[in-house]
Amino acid sequence: MAIDREYLEEVVEELSQHKGRHTELISVYIPAGYDVNSVQKQLEAEKSTAKNIKSTATRKNVGDALDKIVRHLKTLKKTPENGLAIFCGNVSQTEGQDNLKLWDVEPSLPIKVRLYRCDKEFVLEPLEEQLEVSEIYGLIVMDRKEATIGVIEGKRIKVIQHMTSGIPSKVRAGGQSSQRFHRITEGMTKDFYKRVAEEAKKAFFGNEKVKGILVGGPIPTKDEFLDNGYLMTPLQNKVIGRVDIGDTDESGLKELVEKSQEILANQEIMREKKLIERFLTTLGENPELAVYEEKAIRKALEYGAVETLIVSKDLDKKLLKEFREKAESIDSVIETVSLDTEEGQQFKNLSGMGAILRFRLS
């Protein structure tokens, strides 16, 4: 079963901790659509080559790891849909002792490389590339006094730049005519808009991950900014929404995201919010179909009753692994909740674990 991005992150972190004494940790990447039997034959041949390794301990560790991988591959009828990454080696910290472990990873995105390597470390770059955020949304909130530029990166709202215009308030020094004051402030406003556009260009132009740009602010300001061509055309074409909001600082970015839920419906941050909302709604309206205590979740997993298992990212690793394995065995959907949203923090404070059930348990 393909694992989600958060679980992949945990696996990569775990694998990165292991270091071999010699070149004895084996990494195998099988691309999506590649014949698993061909890889098995290749590794059988590598077993013959490994017999020439001079060090007795290294020769044994490499041979044992190859044997374990080949045995595992023989259990597969075909390569999983997204390909497969296998890691195996003696990860014991005590010299002379054996602790031969194997990890098989089917990520949620297709593996594109074919690779076999025996090294002191596991080769993790192809999986690390999948962990990089593939798309982001640019955020601009502004009025005539200040502007904040940021991004939604995965589930995190990040501030890039905060700016102030320096435009004076409507109270003006004595002797200044109303028309002159208006001309001065209008000129300063245009200069400020140009500065905001220039900072947006630095932040977003040429960044292929920027899928769209959201602009928020009071009705006249954002419309003046967008309708009068301050943004360069490639960025203007990426504007997917303009939203009426009041704040123009960091809290304004959060308000912009909140009010753009429909636009961002498929974004991770919104998906997470809706997932937790669904769990809490079920818990409130149909409490027999939602559980959040460890004992109740264990029982539901044993009975095959879990439709969706939800776990907080910082849940105890041993418990998390146990729950995941049981959930996978009954084809449950597994969702990992971050701590980057208020809903994620709320879920953590509840217990950090929960399940939506397929059927009621007596």
Sheet architecture: strand order including 146-153: 156-164, 146-153, 136-142, 210-217, 239-244
Distance CA 34, CA 30 (A): 6
Residue 175 confidence (pLDDT) above 70: no
Q: Model-level pTM greater than 0.75?
A: no
pLDDT digits (tens, 9 = 90+) for 296-349: 999 999 999 999 999 998 899 889 889 988 998 898 989 988 887 888 899 999
Tokens of 167: 């435009």
**Model pLDDT, residue 174:** 52
Determine contact, residues 65/90, Cβ cutoff 8 Å. yes
Distance CA 120, CA 23 (A): 4
Determine contact, residues 239/213, Cβ cutoff 8 Å. yes
Residue 252 confidence (pLDDT) above 90: yes
Distance CA 18, CA 34 (A): 28
Distance CA 260, CA 270 (A): 9
Tokens of 258: 């909140």
Could you tell me how many residues make up the chain?
A: 362
Split at pLDDT 50, 70, 90, the class of 66 is very high
**Model pLDDT, residue 100:** 94
Determine contact, residues 91/102, Cβ cutoff 8 Å. no
Tokens of 355: 């399940």
Determine contact, residues 188/239, Cβ cutoff 8 Å. no
Query: Which domains can be identified in the chain, with CATH numbers?
Result: 5-131 (3.30.960.10), 136-265 (3.30.420.60), 269-357 (3.30.1330.30)
Residue 268 confidence (pLDDT) above 80: no
Residues 6+ apart with CB under 8 A from 345: 339
Q: Which of 141, 142, 143, 138 is nearest to 157 (CA)?
A: 138
Distance CA 65, CA 69 (A): 6
Residues 6+ apart with CB under 8 A from 37: none
Q: Which of 285, 276, 326, 277 is nearest to 306 (CA)?
A: 326
Give the H or E element holding residue 156: strand 156-164
Instruction: For residues 9-30, give the mean pLDDT.
Output: 92
**How many helices and strands in the chain, by DSSP H and E?**
12, 13
CA 50 → CA 4, 16, 38, 62, 100, distances in Å? 35, 24, 19, 7, 17
Determine contact, residues 353/327, Cβ cutoff 8 Å. no
Helix, strand, coil % over all residues of the chain, rounded to 5: 45, 25, 35
**Model pLDDT, residue 7:** 83
pLDDT digits (tens, 9 = 90+) for 80-116: 989 999 999 999 888 778 899 999 999 888 898 999 9
Residue 223 confidence (pLDDT) above 60: yes
Q: Which of 90, 103, 94 is nearest to 24 (CA)?
A: 90
Q: Give the other-Cβ count within 10 Å of 310's Cβ.
A: 24
